[in-house]
Structure 1
Amino acid sequence: MGRRSDHSREELRALILEEGHRQLSQVGFARFSAREVAKRIGYSIGTIYNVFGSYDALLLALNGRTLDLWLAFLEGRLAGCEEGRLDAAIEAYFDFALGHRHAWTALYDFRLPEGALPSEDYRGKVAAITAVIVREIAAVLPPDVCEEALPLARSLLASVHGHCFFALNGTFAMLGEGDPLAAAKARVADALARFGAR
């Protein structure tokens, strides 16, 4: 029987997120089970839906936790870094994805129903990671093209993501690319050079 009154709502939310993220990190999105999370914390599946409202909201919360970890990891890598900050950010992208493979891929594997939008809180977490990259790109651009930092950040994140994803799933190995990280850095450097980045 579940421990239906052992925890407050806030405690339950934290407990579910902790166990849910642990499971997501171990088995990945395709094998993730909210019912298994409930079983492992000693509550019913109904309790999870009572706390989060829906399966989609639970997955967004779990992915939001991954985004929080990713942001902290990225900022940690950049802290005290004087030279090559964009290269350090690209390395952090690859290292976080490799170190949190299942949780990282769940960010992209999970889809909300068509027409549904993630919460403002979730969008804010995504924007916070993007803002770090915008900041780092703006720091190397000439002042007269700093307005390009945001569109460049979006495109360069897509490029780095593609390199990283192909590295993780083995596509680059099949294509004969032996150093996807170096390739990602080179593509970013090429793009920034067109804008006179220093």
Structure 2
Amino acid sequence: MGRRSDHSREELRALIVAEGHRQMAEVGFAKFSAREVAKAIGYSIGTLYNVFGSYDQLILAINGHTLDLWLADLEAKLDSLPASRLRAAIDAYFDFALGNRNAWTALYDFRLPADEVMPEDYRIKVTAITEVVVREIRSELPTEHAGEAPALARSLLATVHGHCYFALNGTFALLGEQDPLAAALDRVDDALARFKS
């Protein structure tokens, strides 16, 4: 029997997100079940939908928690570094993905229906990670090219992400790539070099 009044709405939201994130990290998006989350916390599935409105909004809340953890991890790893921060950021990208494989891939496996707009608070979380990369790329560029950092960051994020994703799903192993992180760093260095010559 579900507990109907043990928690306030905000407490319940936090409880659901925490358990949902735990389960997402354990089983991944393809095997994720809102019903299992409800069962684990002792509430009905209807309670989850009452709090979040829909399955999609529940997944966004769980993925938003992953983004919060990722940003905190990234900033923590960069805080103590005076130099070579871009390389450290790329290394942190790989580390977080490898250490949180299922939760990280859920960020990319889930898609909102085409007719739904991404909530602003979620967009801000995604943008916050991108802004860290923009900041670090800008610091590597000559002053006269600083304005190109946002476009370059988007391109380099795609490059690093592709290397990371291929490393996680085994594609690079099939292709014989032994060190995807080093390959990603080389591609970033190649891109930056054209602005420094």
Normalising by structure 1, we get a TM-score of 0.98
How large is the RMSD of aligned CA atoms in angstroms? 0.8
1:182 maps to 2:182: yes
CA contact (8 A) 1:29 1:106 kept: yes
Q: C-alpha separation between the residues in 2 aligned to 1:35 and 1:61?
A: 16
In the TM superposition, residue 140 of structure 1 has moved relative to its aligned partner by 1.1
Q: Is the 8 A contact 1:25 1:101 kept in 2?
A: yes
**Bigger Cα displacement from structure 2, 111-120 vs 86-95:** 111-120
Q: Match for residue 95 of structure 2? A: 95
**Structure 1 runs not aligned, ≥5 long:** none
User: For residue 145 of structure 2, what is the aligned residue in structure 1?
Assistant: 145
Cα deviation, residue 115, structure 1: 2.7
Cross-structure match for 2:159: 159
The share of aligned pairs that are identical, in percent, is: 73
* Paired letter, 1:53: G
- 1:196 and 1:120 map into 2 onto residues whose CA distance is 36
* In 2: Cα distance, 1:80 partner to 1:41 partner: 38
Deviation at 1:116, TM superposition (A): 1.5
2:148 partner amino acid: E
Aligned to 2:59: 59
Aligned to 2:168: 168
Contact 1:137 1:149 in 2 (8 A): yes
- 1:12 aligned onto 2:12: yes
- In the other structure, the counterpart of 1:27 is 27
Q: Does 1:117 align with 2:117?
A: yes
- Report the Cα offset of residue 195 of structure 1: 1.1
Counterpart in the other structure of 1:126: 126
Offset of 1:62 from its aligned partner? 0.4
CA distance in 1, matches of 2:156, 2:167: 16
**What's the CA shift for 1:145?**
0.9
- Report the secondary structure of 2:196's partner residue: coil
Unaligned runs of 5+ in 2: none
Spell out, residue by residue over 1:66-113, the C-alpha distance to the aligned partner (whole angstroms, 9 max, x if none). 000000000011011122111100100000000000000000000000
Q: Which amino acid aligns with 1:129?
A: I
**Residues of 2 paired with 1:99 and 1:173: CA distance?**
18
Aligned AA (1:115): D
Question: TM-score, normalising length from structure 2?
Answer: 0.98
Detail structure 1 runs of 4+ shifted over 2 Å in the superposition: none
Letter in 1 for 2:162: G
Indicate if the aligned counterparts of 1:60 and 1:118 stay in contact, CA closer than 8 A. no
> In the alignment, residue 184 of structure 2 is paired with which amino acid?
A
Count of paired positions = 197
